Amino acid sequence: MAAPEAAIRELLETRRRALHDRDAKALLATYAAEADVFDLAPPLSHGPDPAGVAAWMASWDGPIGSETRQVAVRSADGVAFVAGLERLHGRQGGEPRDIWMRFTLGLVLSPEGWRIAHEHVSVPVRKTQILMGATDLVP
């Protein structure tokens, strides 16, 4: 494994541990300060949000399990793209949660190492069913 790919995969492992431990500070340290985040929850986009991440993590009952599959890493000249599938699971509000999502990360190499500058998360939509997404949001 080439050095950039190994460092990027270590960043993914840092994120996994931060999720598991519900450590908002450690998770946010993987992002560039000016990162653009396109998450599952509204709004349409946001930047790193310490209060929002801490509140979301606190909504889980115990550790947040996560795993990734089909991860592809491509890097050149201080820029990298990572895409794959991610599963989050555990208990939230007393109820079991288990969801698979698609994710794409755009990373930049900073003096501190690789940082996420762009994150996009999505789930497939069954077109034969009523769409339940927040399609009324506008930028």
Q: Examine the pLDDT at 70 and tell me if it is beyond 80.
A: yes
- Assigned domain for 60 exists: yes
- Assigned domain for 113 exists: yes
Q: Examine the pLDDT at 114 and tell me if it is beyond 80.
A: yes
pLDDT at position 29 is 98
Helix (H) or strand (E) holding 26: helix 24-28
**Residues 81, 42: Cα–Cα separation, whole Å:** 24
- Assigned domain for 13 exists: yes
User: What does the pLDDT look like over 6-50, one tens digit per residue?
Assistant: 999 999 999 999 999 999 999 999 999 999 999 988 888 999 999
CB 59 within 8 A of CB 92: yes
Domain total in the chain: 1
Q: Examine the pLDDT at 133 and tell me if it is beyond 80.
A: no
**Residues 101, 32: Cα–Cα separation, whole Å:** 22
**Residues 121, 38: Cα–Cα separation, whole Å:** 6
Q: Examine the pLDDT at 111 and tell me if it is beyond 80.
A: yes
Domain that holds residue 100: 3-122
- Assigned domain for 36 exists: yes
pLDDT at position 42 is 85
Side chain identity at residue 48, one-letter code: P
- Assigned domain for 69 exists: yes
> Once rounded to an integer, what is the mean pLDDT over residues 59-70?
97
- Give the domain CATH number at 114: 3.10.450.50
- Assigned domain for 7 exists: yes
**Average pLDDT for the chain:** 93
> Once rounded to an integer, what is the mean pLDDT over residues 48-58?
95
pLDDT at position 33 is 95
